[in-house]
């Protein structure tokens, strides 16, 4: 088990299924717990950035499309839901007097020299001003071929861009399990505690995406691969734990990805 205290610049990715209920409602008790933990990290002089999913999921509360929306419908859901998402974060961080800033990125923005430089500068200025950056994909302008699609990859690219030393992925699962069947029951003996290299065997252990998010374990492993190549550790744990970030160093079930 690793200690969160040994990291300084931390990106925290929160999945759609963690922060949104099935009917597109905000899961306020979870947001309260996560924002309390982030306030604690900031108090301990950590630099923190959030990558928050949930725009499409929260858009479903008021806009009713089919169960499997088209790309254009998902983009419309995101355009509406992004406002709900940021209002929810704003409400929760207000309790700790933490101002927030929104950054929406496309995959191209993280690759192109000028836009990635601008994004990096925006993050630095926000951090210097004590304002918490909250990043999401710019869903409404990204086309299908160039979409991240899920925020695991976006979070890994952001971690690389800003030179983070830790990416925390708050998911609905406790971590990586050697058998897909053990994910639901969270069988301890099947849990992988630490991964030092992404091998074909590790990729094989990854399961499928959840209904609300698009990523699943496979994209988390891809994200871990990017992190490991860039001297950034990554940890996957359940965002549904009480105090999910603080308990990583104590007792939470989690999978760490760290280079030896
Ligand atoms: N940008 C998408 C959203 O906010 C991410 C979806 C996902 O991570 O699966 O809804």
For the stretch 166-220, pLDDT in tens is 999 999 999 998 877 677 677 777 889 999 999 988 988 886 444 444 558 889 9
Mean per-residue pLDDT for 147-173? Answer: 91
C-beta 135 within 6 A of ligand 1: no
Query: In sequence order, which residues have a C-beta less than 8 Å from that of residue 46 and are 6 or more positions away?
Result: 7, 8, 9, 10
Q: 233 pLDDT exceeds 50?
A: yes
pLDDT exceeds 60 at position 74: yes
Cβ–ligand 1 distance for 55 under 6 Å, the answer: yes
Per-residue pLDDT at 111: 86
* Nearest atom (ligand 1) to Cα of 57: 10
Task: Name which of 18-27, 92-101, 126-135, 210-219 the model is least confident about.
Answer: 210-219
Q: Looking at residues 63-74, what average pLDDT do you find?
A: 88
Ligand 1, atom 7: nearest CA belongs to which residue? 150
Mean of all residue pLDDT scores within the chain: 90
Write down all domains in the chain, each with its CATH number in brackets.
Answer: 4-257 (3.40.1160.10)
pTM over 0.75: yes
For the CA of 136, the nearest atom of ligand 1 = 1
Atom of ligand 1 nearest to the CA of 213: 9
104-138 pLDDT, tens per residue?
998 888 889 999 999 999 999 999 999 999 999 99
Q: Which of 79-88, 101-110, 138-147, 247-256 has the highest mean pLDDT?
A: 79-88
At 221, list the tokens. 């492993």
Report residue 192 as tokens. Answer: 């992988």
Helices (H), 130-249: 151-162, 182-185, 200-205, 216-229
* CA gap 154, 135 in Å, rounded: 9
Residue 212 pLDDT: 42
Pocket test for ligand 1, best of 110, 141, 214 (most atoms within 8 A of CB): 214
pLDDT at 257 over 90: yes
Tens-place pLDDT, residues 243-252: 999 999 887 7
Average pLDDT rounded to a whole number, residues 67-95: 94
What pLDDT does residue 207 have? 61
Ligand 1 pocket, residue 137 CB under 6 Å: yes
- For the ranges 37-41, 91-95, 206-210, the lowest mean pLDDT is seen at 206-210
- Contact status, residue 206 vs residue 217, Cβ threshold 8 Å: yes
CB-CB contact of 138 with 56 (8 Å): no
Q: Give the number of the atom of ligand 1 that is nearest the alpha carbon of residue 151.
A: 8
pLDDT of residue 209: 44
Lowest mean pLDDT among 24-38, 108-122, 133-147, 226-240: 133-147
User: SS3 for 220?
Assistant: helix
Among the residue ranges 18-27, 213-222, 228-237, the one predicted with the least confidence is 213-222
CA pair distance 170, 20, nearest whole angstrom: 13
16 CA → ligand 1 middle, Å: 6
Q: With 80 as the cut, is the pLDDT of residue 102 above it?
A: yes
Q: How far is the CA of 80 from the centre of ligand 1 (A)?
A: 13
HSE toward the beta carbon, residue 18, CA cutoff 13 A:
29
Q: Are 96 and 35 in contact (CB under 8 A)?
A: yes
């Amino acid at each position: 088990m690793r200690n969160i205290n040994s990291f300084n610049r931390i990106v925290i990715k929160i999945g759609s299924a963690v922060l949104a209920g099935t009917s597109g409602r905000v899961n306020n008790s979870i947001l309260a717990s996560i924002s309390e933990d982030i306030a604690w990290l900031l108090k301990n002089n950590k630099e923190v950035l959030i990558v928050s999913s949930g725009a499409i999921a929260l858009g479903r509360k008021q806009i009713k499309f089919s169960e499997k929306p088209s790309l254009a419908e998902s983009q419309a859901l995101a355009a509406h839901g992004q406002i709900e998402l940021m209002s929810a974060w704003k409400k929760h961080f207000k309790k700790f007097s933490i101002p927030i800033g929104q950054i929406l990125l496309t995959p191209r923005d993280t690759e192109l020299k000028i836009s990635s430089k601008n994004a990096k500068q925006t993050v630095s200025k926000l951090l210097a001003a004590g304002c918490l950056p909250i990043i999401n994909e710019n869903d409404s302008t990204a086309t299908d071929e160039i979409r991240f699609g899920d925020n695991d990859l976006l979070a890994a690219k952001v971690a690389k861009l800003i030179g983070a030393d830790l990416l925390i992925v708050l998911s609905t699962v406790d971590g990586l399990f050697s058998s897909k069947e053990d994910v639901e029951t969270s069988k301890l003996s099947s849990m992988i505690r630490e991964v030092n290299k992404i091998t074909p065997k590790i990729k094989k252990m990854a399961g499928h995406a959840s209904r609300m998010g698009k990523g699943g374990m496979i994209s988390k492993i891809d994200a871990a691969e990017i992190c490991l190549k860039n001297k950034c550790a990554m940890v996957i744990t359940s965002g549904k734990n009480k105090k999910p970030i603080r308990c990583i160093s104590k007792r939470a079930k989690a999978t760490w990805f760290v280079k030896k």
